Amino acid sequence: MLCQNCQKKNATVHLTEISNQNVQKEIHLCDDCAHKQGLPYKAQFSIAEILSGLIEPLMGKAIGEMANLKCQNCGISYVDFKRQARFGCADDYEVFKEGIVPLLERIHGATQHHGKIPSQVNQELLHERKLKDLQRELNQLIRTEEFEKAAEVRDKIKKLKDKATKPNNSKRKK
């Protein structure tokens, strides 16, 4: 890609004008032009750019099955998500889970929410869901013979079960 300013050198600085985390406009400049414009800080890559970069390798691996995945609720496919870097509905998080978990790991360094829980969410249901998720993770780890990790998950499950037997601690507070 050529620098937008001088149209001569290769663009190496890729900026996105952003407001409130919303991608607006991309700017591509060569080092010299970026320097001349006195850009005060390191270039920020656009979210879409980062995301396609992150999803790309995953796509290669799982392209067979993942590419055909489609959300029944909003109708978008995994490929649509990859292109737009936006979900079509809340269900997509479950439907495309396999692709999304490693993506979130790379963006946030985590895949499990630890913050506020809306009061409308049934606490018991929540607890059950967590247990189920962990159980599934455990089974997967045993299947792939990752026993060290499996032991960690087993501890987590035990902790959760212990918690449930004690009253009045369904709300997580730090």
DSSP classification of residue 136: H
Q: Are 28 and 47 in contact (CB under 8 A)?
A: no
Residue from 10, 24, 68, 73 touching Zn ion (CB under 5 A): that is: 73
Q: What is the spatial distance between Cα 155 and Cα 5, in angstroms, rounded to a whole number?
A: 57
Residue from 6, 18, 63, 107 touching Zn ion (CB under 5 A): that is: 6
**Does residue 24 bind another protein (CB under 8 A)?**
yes
Closest by CA position to 137, among listed 93, 98, 92, 96? 98
Interface mask (CB under 5 A) for Zn ion, residues 33-72, using x and -?
x-------------------------------------x-
User: What residue has token string 């809340």?
Assistant: 90
Q: What is the spatial distance between Cα 50 and Cα 28, in angstroms, rounded to a whole number?
A: 15
Nearest approach, Cβ of residue 162 and another protein (Å):
18
Binding partner at 143 among another protein, Zn ion, none, C-beta below 5 to 8 Å by kind: none
Q: What is the spatial distance between Cα 16 and Cα 51, in angstroms, rounded to a whole number?
A: 14
Interface with another protein by CB under 8 A: which residues? 15, 17-22, 24, 27, 37-42, 44, 47, 51, 73-76, 84-90, 93-94, 100, 103-104, 107-121, 126, 129-130, 133, 172, 174
